[in-house]
């Protein structure tokens, strides 16, 4: 007995495929997703509750998780060293559950000399376990195409001027590997507590398009 999603209706064959009218109302992509979901359920590969559980899990993730990891690395040199060499273990040690089958994660450090910029040229691969859903612009064709050929120009559009002296490294995410940028700790934060540092770490700084917030531009102080 298969489970039905709320959008499904049983047809005369007893199958729970969404009807054409429902698919049309949703638009092309949502309709296609619904059709695939229905088939997977029908064939017994997944249950309806699996989809909802995964959706809930994704919705529960946010850039704050990544920000906590970054802030810890800023205050704890040993953790930072482990984060850069064995990120999955270091992050699990902080109490985060990372699925054993998730794509390999690499953490790359931005410095005075090097700025990493993350993109997925093919689609929208992204370290969702630490940042949640990617922003719309990350998935756009414009970003995916231009980040590779004109990273400096793209960063400028985000308000980030990168000196010609700084090497820009563009990292292309795939289904097998995801990247998280460890942004530089902003100047003037030497006395700040870890909890307050977390608030300076933005989603975009962990993608590499902007630096972390400076305390002066933040509402923290």
- Work out whether 123 is an interface residue with Fe ion (CB under 5 A): yes
- Is residue 207 within 8 Å of 180, Cβ to Cβ? no
d(C-alpha 173, C-alpha 122), whole Å: 8
Cβ proximity to Fe ion, 54 vs 123, nearer residue: 123
Decide if residue 198 touches Fe ion (CB under 5 A): no
Among residues 10 and 174, whose Cβ is nearest to Fe ion?
Answer: 174
Residue in this structure with the two tokens 């959706």, named with its chain if needed: 55
- Give me the residue whose beta carbon is nearest to Fe ion: 125
The residue within the footprint of Fe ion, chosen from 67, 69, 125, 129 (CB under 5 A), is 125
Burial label for 25, CB within 10 Å (0-12, 13-18, 19+), is: exposed
For the bound state, the minimum distance from the C-beta of residue 4 to Fe ion, rounded and expressed in Å, comes to 30
Distances (CA, A) of 109 to 8, 152, 212: 47, 18, 12
Contact of 207 with 118, CB cutoff 8 Å: yes
- Stretches 23-31, 61-69, 118-126, 202-210: which one binds Fe ion (CB under 5 A)? 118-126
Q: Which is nearer to Fe ion, 82 or 139 (CB)?
A: 139
Active site residues: 120, 123-125
Task: Give the Cα separation of 185 and 171 in Å (integer).
Answer: 21
Residue 114 or 123 having the CB closest to Fe ion? 123
120 touches Fe ion by CB under 5 A = yes
* Residues contributing to the site for Fe ion (CB under 5 A): 120, 122-123, 125
């Amino acid at each position: 007995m298969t489970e039905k999603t709320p959008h499904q209706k049983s047809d005369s064959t007893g199958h729970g495929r969404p009807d054409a009218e429902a698919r049309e109302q949703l638009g092309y992509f949502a309709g296609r997703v619904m059709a695939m979901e229905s088939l997977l359920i029908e064939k017994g590969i997944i249950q309806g509750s699996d989809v909802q559980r995964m959706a809930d899990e994704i919705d529960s993730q946010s850039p704050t998780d990544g920000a906590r990891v970054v802030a810890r690395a800023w205050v704890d040199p040993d953790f930072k060293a482990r984060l850069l060499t064995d990120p999955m273990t270091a992050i699990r040690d902080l109490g985060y559950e990372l699925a054993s089958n998730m794509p390999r994660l690499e953490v790359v450090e931005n410095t005075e000399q090097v700025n990493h910029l993350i993109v997925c040229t093919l689609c929208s691969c992204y370290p969702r376990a630490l940042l949640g859903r990617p922003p719309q612009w990350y998935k756009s064709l414009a970003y995916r195409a231009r980040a590779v050929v004109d990273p400096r120009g793209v960063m400028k559009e985000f308000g980030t001027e990168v000196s010609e002296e700084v090497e820009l490294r563009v990292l292309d995410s795939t289904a097998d590997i995801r990247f998280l940028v460890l942004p530089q700790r902003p100047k003037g934060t030497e006395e700040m507590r870890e909890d307050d540092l977390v608030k300076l770490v933005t989603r975009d700084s962990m993608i590499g398009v902007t630096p972390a917030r400076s305390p002066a531009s933040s509402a923290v102080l």
